[in-house]
Structure 1
């Protein structure tokens, strides 16, 4: 089944809230070689004006994944995950993610394109905190390879 062009403009329900844990931030920081003390040391983060450790900017993909899972699991989307290649990733932040944040993501399919046998879908996850304030928008473009 090819990618469903009617996905464009679709908004998925908000994800369940995700509580950002200190150890998750530290693990992620180590995995991406983020060496700034505010990413690892709560005291350094507090000295810099934050409540707890600060996640590296790309940590937003952890929360975005919850919203992308809705799109990928939707049988009407026509996405064969075994044929998906990650094409692009971008972030627009209002503020850093900090351990202790309770975040919710709402995914909007902003673009669906066909390129020969291949398709591309761009999805934007707007991530907000417990008060509803914007924290970051994470934008992913997925390429769905055509049949061999």
Structure 2
């Protein structure tokens, strides 16, 4: 039971942003994820390690997905309605350079695949993150899976 519009494979959205990185955003993210490494929280420790300021944890770029990653879910042509409920299935982050306070980041999203996984649909996205000088910063990939609750209930 296909839900998502497969014509979206290869479509891109963005760039969107900018997302302004600050010490407080880095600190909040590090503490919320349970990673109190001094490089994320202490400017003096980061400087002693050769950085100009604190650095963001390697998974920090996912923040842009949560800020700007609603596309394609909210595009009516994509096919997402109230049902199915979608859940985050998998994610990976490839950090290409440290992220520092003061960075202004932009994100472009591409739908890279849509496929059936059992009774569900899964779509994969790649989010390319650059700074305002177009320097590569990170690449985040996400897999989102639908939960065809009504189809599952009918099968029982």
- The normalised TM-score by structure 2 is 0.88
Is contact 2:43-2:53 (8 Å) kept? yes
CA RMSD across the alignment: 1.6
Which has the higher mean CA deviation after the structures are superposed, 35-44 or 46-55?
46-55
Between Structure 1 and Structure 2, whose CA radius of gyration is higher? Answer: 2
Is contact 2:110-2:126 (8 Å) kept? yes
Corresponding residue for 2:7? 6
Corresponding residue for 2:80? 79
- The normalised TM-score by structure 1 is 0.92
Matched, 1:105 2:107: yes
Is contact 1:127-1:136 (8 Å) kept? yes
Q: Secondary structure at the match of 2:4?
A: coil
- In 1, Cα distance between equivalents of 2:82 and 2:41: 34
Residue ranges of structure 2 left out of the alignment (5+ in a row) = 151-156
Report deviation, 1:23.
0.3
- In 2, Cα distance between equivalents of 1:73 and 1:49: 42
Corresponding residue for 2:153? none
Matched, 1:55 2:56: yes
- How many equivalent pairs are there? 148
Q: Which has the higher helix share?
A: 1
Corresponding residue for 1:23? 24
- In 1, Cα distance between equivalents of 2:148 and 2:96: 37
Q: Which has the higher strand share?
A: 2
- In 2, Cα distance between equivalents of 1:90 and 1:81: 27
